[in-house]
C-alpha cells in the first residue's frame, strides 16, 4: 500500500478527495483510461473499511463495477435478487423485479465493494494517501488548482488539473464552493433507523415492513449474515436497545409467518442513523466536481445512496476521459445537469418510499389512511408495481 505521494510527485491530472466507494471507483476507472490521479483520505484505511453501509446494488452499478474490473469476488459471492417483499396488515406482497423490468438487483455489502476497490488500487500501484489531515482546496479558477494537506505532521501541496470531491456530506469539497453559487435543498425526517448486524440466516429475499409500531427492514449481507432495521425515535440511543429488545420488537412488526421463522442471535454491530434528503446544486464549480454524498443524501429506504454515487462516477469518469483522450469538454460542461436530472428522480423515489412505509410522529389521523390507500393501490396495480420495480432496479445512466 502506498501511504504517501513520493517526494517527486507534486502534480497529478485529477486529485480525488475521499477514499470511499465513489472516490476509489473513480480512481480505478481513470487509471484504466490512463489518467493520472491521487486519492486523499482523511481517515485511516481500517476506519474506511469498518463503516457499515448498504448492500443492494442496482443493475447499472453492477455493470460499472465489472467495467472497473473489480467484479470477480462480487460475481462469486453476490446474491442476485429478482424481487422483494412489502409486508403490510400482516400480509406479504411480492414485487417481482424480473417480471416487470427483466432485470434484478444484487446484494453485496458496501464494505466488500470498498475492499475490492482498495485491492484493485493496491495491485495497480495507485497513489492513495490515508490520514491526510487539514485538506483544503485553492485556486480553482486557475489551470492548476492547489490542494494543501498535512500527512504525518508534515505540510504537503499537490497541484492538479481537476479536483473530484468524493469526501461525503461533511467533507471540505462542497464547503469550498462559494455560498453565492451553491444552493442546498434539504428535508430531515423525524425518526431514525436502528440497525443490527448478526451472524444469522436471513430471509431469502428482502422484506420492507409497514406497521403501526413503525417501519422495519429485513435484509442480508450473505447467506449467513443478516442486517435488520427498526424505525426508532431520534432521541433513542443504542444503549437503550439490548439485543433481546431488538428481536422482540422486530417480531412484533413482522407478519406471523416471518416472526415464527426469524433466526436470532448476538449482534455484531448496532447503530442508529438519522434520515435526510439532501441535494446540492451545482455539482461543478470551476475545476471542482462533486460526486456521491458530497452532493446528495437519500433516506436509505430505497437503497440508493451507493448507487447514486456510482452513477455520478459513471458521468464524471466519462467526462474526464473524453477531455483527456479527445480534447472534448462537452461532458464536463454538462456533468452537473446530467447528474442532477437523475438525482432528483431518485430523491423523489426514495422520499416516496419513506413516506409510504414509515410512521410520522405527531401527524393527524388522515395521513395513515392515505398511506393505506397508497399501498392498496400499489398492490392492485401492475403499472404501479412496474414503476416501483423500474426505480428499484435502477434508472438508466
151 is catalytic: no
Q: Choosing from 21, 300, 335, 358, which is the catalytic residue? A: 300
Angle in degrees, CA 191, 192, 193, rounded to 5: 140
Contact present, 74 and 65 (Cβ < 8 Å): yes
DSSP code string of 334-382: THHHHHHHHHHHHHHHHHHHHHHHS--TT--SHHHHHHHHHHHHHHH-H
255 is catalytic: no
Contact present, 335 and 289 (Cβ < 8 Å): yes
C-alpha cell at 243: 439485543
Query: What distance in Å separates the CA atoms of residue 152 and residue 135, rounded to the nearest whole number?
Result: 13
Q: Choosing from 21, 81, 130, 285, which is the catalytic residue? A: 81
Residues whose CB is less than 8 angstroms from the CB of residue 293 and which lie 6 or more positions away in sequence, other chains included? 20, 22, 168, 169, 305, 309
Q: Choosing from 85, 208, 228, 324, which is the catalytic residue? A: 208
Residues whose CB is less than 8 angstroms from the CB of residue 327 and which lie 6 or more positions away in sequence, other chains included? none
Q: Choosing from 270, 304, 314, 358, which is the catalytic residue? A: 304
What separation in angstroms does the CA of 174 have from each of 35, 190, 280, 342?
24, 25, 8, 19
392 is catalytic: yes
Query: What distance in Å separates the CA atoms of residue 172 and residue 166, rounded to the nearest whole number?
Result: 10
C-alpha cell at 12: 497529478
Query: What distance in Å separates the CA atoms of residue 276 and residue 288, rounded to the nearest whole number?
Result: 25
Query: Which position has the grid cell 461533511?
Result: 170
304 is catalytic: yes
DSSP label at residue 287: T
81 is catalytic: yes
Query: What distance in Å separates the CA atoms of residue 97 and residue 366, rounded to the nearest whole number?
Result: 31
DSSP label at residue 4: S
Residues annotated catalytic, as ranges: 81, 208, 300, 304, 392
Amino acid at each position: 500500500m502506498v501511504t504517501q505521494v513520493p517526494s517527486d510527485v507534486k502534480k497529478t491530472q485529477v486529485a480525488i478527495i475521499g477514499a470511499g466507494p465513489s472516490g476509489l471507483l473513480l480512481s480505478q476507472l481513470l487509471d484504466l483510461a490512463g489518467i493520472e490521479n491521487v486519492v486523499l483520505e482523511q481517515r485511516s484505511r481500517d476506519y474506511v473499511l469498518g463503516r457499515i453501509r448498504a448492500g443492494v446494488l442496482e443493475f447499472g452499478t453492477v455493470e460499472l463495477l465489472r467495467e472497473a474490473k473489480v467484479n470477480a469476488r462480487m460475481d462469486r459471492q453476490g446474491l442476485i435478487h429478482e424481487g422483494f417483499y412489502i409486508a403490510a396488515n400482516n400480509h406479504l406482497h411480492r414485487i417481482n423485479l424480473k417480471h416487470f423490468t427483466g432485470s434484478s438487483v444484487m446484494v453485496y455489502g458496501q464494505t466488500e465493494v470498498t475492499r475490492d476497490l482498495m485491492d484493485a488500487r493496491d495491485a495497480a500501484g495507485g497513489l492513495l494517501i490515508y490520514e491526510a489531515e487539514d485538506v483544503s482546496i485553492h485556486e480553482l479558477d486557475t489551470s492548476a488548482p492547489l490542494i494543501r494537506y498535512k500527512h504525518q505532521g508534515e505540510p504537503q501541496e499537490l497541484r492538479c488539473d481537476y479536483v473530484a470531491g468524493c469526501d461525503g456530506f461533511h467533507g471540505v469539497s462542497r464547503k469550498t464552493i462559494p455560498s453565492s453559487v451553491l444552493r442546498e435543498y434539504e428535508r430531515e425526517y423525524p425518526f431514525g433507523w436502528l440497525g443490527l448486524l448478526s451472524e444469522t440466516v436471513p430471509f431469502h429475499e428482502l422484506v420492507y415492513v409497514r406497521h403501526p409500531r413503525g417501519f422495519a427492514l429485513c435484509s442480508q449481507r450473505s447467506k449467513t449474515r443478516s442486517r435488520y432495521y427498526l424505525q426508532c425515535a431520534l432521541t433513542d440511543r443504542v444503549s437503550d436497545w439490548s439485543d433481546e429488545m431488538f428481536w422482540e420488537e422486530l417480531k412484533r412488526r413482522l407478519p406471523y409467518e416471518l416472526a415464527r421463522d426469524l433466526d436470532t442471535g448476538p449482534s455484531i454491530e448496532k447503530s442508529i442513523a438519522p434520515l435526510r434528503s439532501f441535494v446540492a446544486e451545482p455539482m461543478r464549480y470551476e475545476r471542482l466536481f462533486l460526486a456521491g454524498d458530497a452532493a446528495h443524501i437519500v433516506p436509505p429506504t430505497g437503497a440508493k445512496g451507493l448507487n447514486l454515487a456510482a452513477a455520478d462516477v459513471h458521468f464524471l469518469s466519462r467526462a474526464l476521459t473524453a477531455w483527456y483522450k479527445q480534447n472534448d469538454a462537452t461532458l464536463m460542461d454538462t456533468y452537473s445537469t446530467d447528474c442532477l436530472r437523475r438525482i432528483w428522480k431518485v430523491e423523489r423515489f426514495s422520499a416516496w418510499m419513506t413516506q409510504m412505509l414509515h410512521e410520522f410522529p405527531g401527524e393527524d389521523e388522515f395521513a395513515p389512511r392515505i398511506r393505506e390507500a397508497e399501498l392498496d393501490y400499489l398492490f392492485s396495480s401492475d403499472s404501479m408495481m412496474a414503476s416501483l420495480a423500474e426505480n428499484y432496479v435502477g434508472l438508466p445512466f
